[in-house]
Structure 1
Amino acid sequence: MKFAHIADVHLGTRRETPYLYDGFLNFIDYMELHPVDMIFITGDLFDHVPTKEDIMFVDTQLARLPKTDILYVTGECDYLARDSVLWNYEFVSRMYLLNCEEIHNHVPEGERAERNSYAEGIMDSLHFAKYNVDVYGICQYSAQNERNDFDSVYARNLRAVNIFLGHGGSARVCPFDVEDFGGKNFGYIGLGHKHQYLAFEKQHVYYPGSLEPINEDETGEHGFIYGYIDKQLTSVKFVPIAMRRFEEKKEEKAEFDYELLQELNRENAFGKCLQTFDQKQTEQAQMAKKKYADGMLASLQELTGKQALSTYTPTQVAEAWAEQQSQLKAGLQSLQQEIAANEQEQAELEEKLLACPDQTGTTNVLHEDIGKLQFDLSKLEFEDQQVDKKYSRRRLGFVLWIDTPLAIVLSLLVTVGMIDVFFMQAWETWFWLVTSLIGFEIAFTIIGFCVYNMTKKLRKKLFGTEIPVETHARLQSQIRLLESKIHDLQLEESSRFLDQKNYDENSWRMKEVQKQYQQLLEKSEVILSVLDVNANKIVKE
């Protein structure tokens, strides 16, 4: 399923912020050229509680996308107030306002999403059968919300693609920790409130930022998120389409006077190391000298808080030297240990995944086994429902077997009696005889039912016929056994998906640690070597 994700559009007074409206229209134009299945709007679509005219403008523009479902949650600016017109507005587009009691849009009944049974409280959840997608969402109901509404949210249906939409991430608007979303089984978590693009790939948490920069402080690229998601894959990219861009003002830093630095530290080890670089007059040696001096100066300034070169004493240089050496060695050792632990965990997960064919894409054995067991379960449940019906049919057959001779005699007597009555006028005799036979018929019917019910054990012993209670007990035992097997297989299936997820997360974490390790190595190649009074080695290289 392809999707686009926007937030923090902040449409307000068109006269005052025409560029924000132009940015929104630019996004709709882009969607017409590059259609998606769903659009997520995660709050602050407006910079105020919207009026009917505001909603009509947005709804009219979104109606230009007749095949795209739009999911909308409100933020702290366009919050869902009690008297908001959003509650009962009839959208002409395929807009779904989450947390609204009823769905008001023009999507045909056969295509419309259904509200899940586990939608409760402030959390809404819709199921889109066409894509097998469950979308969860929480709206903001006030301009300030200092509680963490996302804490208790987790995906309920592991067979569907699960997506969560919300708005928050600051002390005054739904504060939360990104780590809280770990293990909640969402394939994509789309949020609003931050005006810059942010991606926490490990937790699948994404902020698209605002479509257009709201003010000059919001520098860099702005746009929306374009993505694809299914059960096995989530692919996300940022699309910068903002028509305005503000650049951060960079302050020019004065270059260090390396000659003065060397002169001031002539007598200590730091200055002697700088002199070692000068012994070989090559461009490479001078670059190494500059890199080493920059690193040491940064450490000195961080340690002492002093900027002027003349204020550094040999003692301060020695302290900075020792501190830098200790930090680098400790950092390298810590990262090496973390890389080793990650590699071991990665190997275990890889071995576990290779033992699961369904995770390598060759087959889906677990899913097939669950399907077979569920079919067997439905057969047993049907058989259990038919036990009493079969028993009733057999009992009725037994009673009819007893009553049939009497019924034949009774029908004959009624026929003969009618003739006798017609010719001989023997009304009383005929009435008494017929009444007696009907009484016998009723008595034999009752006796037949009683005899059949009282001879259950005898019939079982003679003919092997099961007693209904025992049949129910046997079938219920088999049903519970199958349900237990299905539950175990579903848990195993879920655990394998979690194993794959842990494998992916561990791969990402290991890449990050290795990247940090390489960066620290680059830093240590110059600084540590010189700190160990091995500057000659650097000069030769």
Structure 2
Amino acid sequence: MKFFHIADTHLGAIPDAGFAWSEERRSEIWESFRSVVAKADREEVDLLLIAGDLFHRQPLMRELKEVNYLFSTLKKTKVVFIIGNHDYLKVDSYYLDFPWSENVTCLRGKECESVVFEDLDTEVYGLSYHTREIKEPKYNDLQPEKKAGFSILLGHGGDAKHIPIDRKKLLLSGFDYIALGHIHRPEMIEPDRMAYAGALEPIDQNDIGPHGFIEGEYNEGKLSISFVPWACREYIPLELDTKECPTNLAFQETVRMRMAAKGMQHIYKVLLQGYRDPDIVYDLDACRKLGNIVSVQDESVPDYDFERLMRVHAGDIAGRYIQTLYHKDMSDTERKALYYGIHALLEMRG
């Protein structure tokens, strides 16, 4: 029996609103979802499991129809999904009485329920959100009823406001596979047993690293799972040291080269750190225009010659400030504090 485990597709999300690539990202989220459904069909996967947050917010009727059409194209694959905290079941939700294709099961109860697929000797458990938050640890005491040879728990949560999870306790529950959603970074919690698929596509700049889905195969009592990278793009931190960026032009060229090496399609978070020549000013606005850059932070500090400054400013407040704090064996923290302080004083002087 072969399955795909996806989660947090967040259809309808518009990442990085206001940036040039934002609308394109909305289309890519739909395209990644469409393409993974197509892959399940090509490979004749038995189950497509979706662990919550299919949509980024309450789905429109036309959006449900689009998704249902995709599911209906699956010739062999059965779909089982739960509803997460983003698209939770409101009293007027279109989810409530939507006529899904016959190969689709939505486990939409407030409490855990299950569906058995006799031809696969598999039972899938899950519950859906009917409110934005569920603070009760609803999964911790669950146990499969063993109505089939292979049991799967579809879960969505893992923080204080969204079904807190005791991982050790859940691993002792007796489920053969625990397919989780809500946490956007993929994580193999227990090899071949319990995993967060992560968001199919990264949704915001905190979703750094590869994204995709979990592929699993259960055969003769043994389960093997693996992560499949699938996202169109990644958010990539780009950390630079001032040693490689001695001037503003060198800074821009280094950013450009690093982005080209990793892939210009990705989205970057640039961070510059270290001690710099006090005469150098980095043009952060120019840096942002080099490609898909969602943030630029300059945490560099001017590498002042404090002994020279102390002589130049002898008798004024800047000189007295340096004389009070400066010593040759300063820690890095003390040095930075002195840099920031003297920089502020010199700026005040114009």
Q: Deviations over 1:159-184 (max 9, x none)?
A: 62111001001111111121111321
Task: Structure 2 unaligned segments of length 5 or more: list them.
Answer: 15-21, 245-326, 332-350
1:241 match: 230
SS in 2 for 1:40: strand
Is 1:222 matched up with 2:231?
no
CA displacement at 1:61 relative to structure 2: 1.1
AA partner of residue 19 (structure 1):
E
1:10 match: 10
1:200 match: 189
Cα distance in 2 for partners of 1:246, 1:53 equals: 30
Aligned-residue sequence identity (percent) comes to 30
Is 1:125 matched up with 2:144?
no
1:361 match: none
1:99 match: 108
1:250 match: 239
CA displacement at 1:66 relative to structure 2: 2.2
AA partner of residue 7 (structure 2):
A
What RMSD in Å do the two structures reach over aligned CA positions?
Answer: 2.4
Cα distance in 2 for partners of 1:9, 1:309 equals: 55
- TM-score norm. by structure 1 comes to 0.42
Preserved CA contact (<8 Å) 1:39 1:71: yes
Preserved CA contact (<8 Å) 1:81 1:141: yes
After TM superposition, list the pairs within 5 Å mapping 1:464-479 onto structure 2: none
CA displacement at 1:136 relative to structure 2: 0.9
SS in 2 for 1:71: strand
Task: Structure 1 unaligned segments of length 5 or more: list them.
Answer: 101-120, 256-307, 313-541
Over 3 Å counting, the alpha-carbon distance change for 1:79 and 1:230 in structure 2 is: farther
1:152 match: 141
SS in 2 for 1:53: helix
2:75 match: 66
CA displacement at 1:252 relative to structure 2: 3.4
CA displacement at 1:253 relative to structure 2: 8.6
Is 1:26 matched up with 2:45?
no
2:165 match: 176
After TM superposition, list the pairs within 5 Å mapping 1:265-344 onto structure 2: 310-311=329-330
CA displacement at 1:209 relative to structure 2: 0.8
AA partner of residue 126 (structure 2):
G
- TM-score norm. by structure 2 comes to 0.63
AA partner of residue 207 (structure 2):
E
Over 3 Å counting, the alpha-carbon distance change for 1:97 and 1:213 in structure 2 is: same
CA displacement at 1:82 relative to structure 2: 2.6
CA displacement at 1:99 relative to structure 2: 3.2
SS in 2 for 1:249: strand
Task: Return the match for 1:54 from 39, 59, 63.
Answer: 63
CA displacement at 1:93 relative to structure 2: 5.2
SS in 2 for 1:48: coil
Cα distance in 1 for partners of 2:59, 2:126 equals: 19
Cα distance in 1 for partners of 2:204, 2:148 equals: 43
After TM superposition, list the pairs within 5 Å mapping 1:323-402 onto structure 2: none
- Number of positions where the alignment pairs a residue of Structure 1 with one of Structure 2: 240
1:386 match: none
Preserved CA contact (<8 Å) 1:7 1:193: yes
The structure that has the greater radius of gyration is: 1
Return the structure number with greater helix share: 1
Over 3 Å counting, the alpha-carbon distance change for 1:252 and 1:150 in structure 2 is: same
2:84 match: 75
Preserved CA contact (<8 Å) 1:4 1:39: yes
SS in 1 for 2:87: coil
